[in-house]
Structure 1
Amino acid sequence: MRKLFLPIILILVVVLSACGSSEQKDAGGESGKPAESTSNNPAPSNSSDKESATRTYQSEEGPIEVPANPQRVIVLTRFLTGNVMALGVPVVGVDEMSKDNPRFQEQLKDVEAISDESLEKIMELEPDLIIGLDGVKNMDKLKQIAPTVVYTYDKVDYLTQQIEIGKLLNKEQEARAWVDDFKARAQKAGDEIRAKIGEDATVSVIETFNKQLYVYGYNFGRGTEILYDEFKLKMPEKVKEATSKDGYLALSTEVLHDYLGDYVIFSKNAEEDSSFQNTELYKNLPAVQNNRVFEADAKTFYFRDPLSLDYQLDFFIQSFLGK
């Protein structure tokens, strides 16, 4: 009986040892790393937690809970689309004019064109954040779809606006870094341009829009922020006076010579009538005769977001300095 008992004990030890080894292999895998969970309800990953987290943003209307890391942003205004894009935050819906911007077309080719009235399409896009301007239509309904933040146009300057967008998108550090870098680059270019063309040289910005010719003053897009704020170039006195209230003035070809500076930036839209350039009056203007009219694509020059400003800065460096 004793002789039979010992082999049975040995058999049990071997079997138990094999079972333990098998369980250890199932739990750790052949490499010793944790095996993939087969549960139907796995614990949320860190990335999921990150996407679902919220934070409080101090908007113009007061504190509002917004995604900590928004991944599906809708921008209802062309004035802020480039601000969001510059910070690398995904957009799923933008206005038609933003999609028409040649500088944005590649990045926005798969993004839906929407407006503040296309509520059904906005709902289908499942945004986690909506951005617009004060006075946007259907505000109450938009807020039911996703957190909605609006800004008053021109309440802050164009660089501060980018910092505000950075705060909203949890990208303030990146926004401030761009502002500092942009100001440094613009100041350097401005110093070189003034040294070349003279401290007293004047610059005008004109554009044809809706079959009308305009001249623009301070802070009205079309590169005016760079020319007059960052470069500190001079505006003709007549333009300064005429645009002091509204920021722009409608012109007729007959009085154009009174408002053109030594240099002219022509924000030109190929779809608009620019036949005035064929008149003898225009051809005899000093800026034209001296080859000091620099033509830019109006659709890329309307705005003052970081992407547009970087492009405008490069355009001015090439136009004024040839580099």
Structure 2
Amino acid sequence: MSKRKPYFILTLFLMLSVLVSACGGANNTNSNAATNVPSESEAPAATEAPAAEFRGFETTKGTIQIPVKPQRIVTDYYGGELLSVGANVLGVEPSTFENPFLTEQLKGAVDVGSPINVEKVLELKPDLIVVMYEESYESLSKIAPTLYIPYGTASNIYESVRLFGDIVGEKEKAEQFITAYDEKAKAGREKLKGVVDENTTVGIFELTDKGEIWMFGENSGRSGQAVYNALGLKIPESIKKQVDANDGFFQLSKEALPEYSADYMFMTVYDPEKKGEAIKQLTDLAVWKSLDAVKNNQYFENDFNTFYRYDPIAISGQVDLIVDMLIARAEENKK
């Protein structure tokens, strides 16, 4: 017995050592696991996006929680505004596809109807919806966060680009667009020096297929922002007074045209059926032929879809077109 005792003690000692190590290892493993698991307050909810991915945006409908960086956007009439700040636009209302300045950027977009079709929007699975009109607001807001931005919320290209840059979380892209626009406007003004006198006036008109004549001011569509704000061409005082008093545009009779004459006239013609009847009736009138802009070959008849638009991309494109038109006409009149 005395010879076997040391072996028994050694064996017992080894068994106890293994048991202690195993217990210690288990304790260490549990400790590390507890360190890596977030507390209940820190752990994200299984069905909710992290709070950092959403933010509140103030609208007339209250504060709306929208994605900080929306990736799939549907809109009715704000396609150009959203595209100007690099947004991914999945769907827009149908007339947006007739905007020649947006043709390339809308190749992958879908027509969502006018008024906007809720079922079509649902199929697109947007993470943000932006609308100018509120007819379907309640239904749309059940699909994704929906912002109601009424017409006139932004009054010029600067406000518009910055508003939509904020909406899509791209304020830097908004400022880049504005910088490029300002540079283009400056270059355009330089090109027109010596071509158009600084005191020259420009009137912006529209003729409808019903024979109605409208006039537009600095911040309306029909190229007003490009003509007056970007290129610094002057609006006649008679026109400015009326448009300022009538929310940017007003209707006048054919007989009143001489009262609102300008050195240059830009006429956008709305003639969806391409009949040409309204413009022929107007240009056959003696009062029309008496206008200085007509007599001096400084009248321009402009395509409706090109010059009706007032989104930032269209306005920027109109600057180039107007500069080219004025230079070409000056060359023509020299002959």
Decide: shared fold, TM above 0.5: yes
Instruction: Write the deviation string for residues 170-201 of structure 1: whole angstroms up to 9, x where unpaired.
Output: 21101111112212321342354355322221
1:313 paired residue number: 319
Does 2:113 align with 1:114?
Answer: yes
Take 2:182 and 2:215, find their aligned partners in 1: how far apart are those partners?
25
Alignment CA distance shift 1:194-1:58 (3 Å): farther
TM-score (norm 2): 0.73
Take 1:116 and 1:57, find their aligned partners in 2: how far apart are those partners?
27
Mean Cα deviation higher: 150-159 or 93-102: 150-159
Does 2:283 align with 1:274?
Answer: no
Take 2:265 and 2:56, find their aligned partners in 1: how far apart are those partners?
42
Superposed, which structure 2 residues align to 1:128-167 within 5 Å? 128-133=127-132, 136-158=134-156, 159-167=158-166
1:129 deviates by 0.9
Are the aligned partners of 1:194 and 1:233 in contact in 2 as well (CA < 8 Å)?
Answer: no
| CA RMSD after TM alignment | 2.6
Mean Cα deviation higher: 153-162 or 233-242: 153-162
1:165 deviates by 0.5
1:274 deviates by 1.4
Are the aligned partners of 2:84 and 2:161 in contact in 1 as well (CA < 8 Å)?
Answer: no
1:86 deviates by 2.4
Superposed, which structure 2 residues align to 1:219-298 within 5 Å? 219-246=219-246, 247-271=248-272, 273-275=278-280, 276-298=282-304
Instruction: Write the deviation string for residues 35-84 of structure 1: whole angstroms up to 9, x where unpaired.
Output: xxxxxxxxxxxxxxx9x98231533345433233333211122xx21011
Q: Secondary structure at the match of 1:196?
A: coil
Take 2:226 and 2:318, find their aligned partners in 1: how far apart are those partners?
8
1:89 paired residue number: 87
Instruction: Write the deviation string for residues 138-176 of structure 1: whole angstroms up to 9, x where unpaired.
Output: 322211111111223323332111111111112110111
2:175 paired residue number: 176
Does 2:71 align with 1:71?
Answer: yes
Q: Percent identity?
A: 28
Mean Cα deviation higher: 293-302 or 97-106: 97-106
1:289 deviates by 2.0
Query: What letter is aligned with 1:266?
Result: M
TM-score (norm 1): 0.75
Take 2:183 and 2:228, find their aligned partners in 1: how far apart are those partners?
15
Query: What letter is aligned with 2:317?
Result: Y
1:4 paired residue number: none
Alignment CA distance shift 1:117-1:168 (3 Å): closer
Give ranges in structure 2 of 5+ residues lacking alignment. 1-48
Q: Secondary structure at the match of 2:135?
A: coil
Alignment CA distance shift 1:205-1:194 (3 Å): farther
Query: What letter is aligned with 1:167?
Result: D
Query: What letter is aligned with 1:153?
Result: Y
Alignment CA distance shift 1:270-1:209 (3 Å): closer
1:114 deviates by 2.1
Alignment CA distance shift 1:129-1:116 (3 Å): farther
Query: What letter is aligned with 2:233?
Result: L
Take 1:125 and 1:53, find their aligned partners in 2: how far apart are those partners?
24
Instruction: Write the deviation string for residues 292-314 of structure 1: whole angstroms up to 9, x where unpaired.
Output: 11232111212222210121101
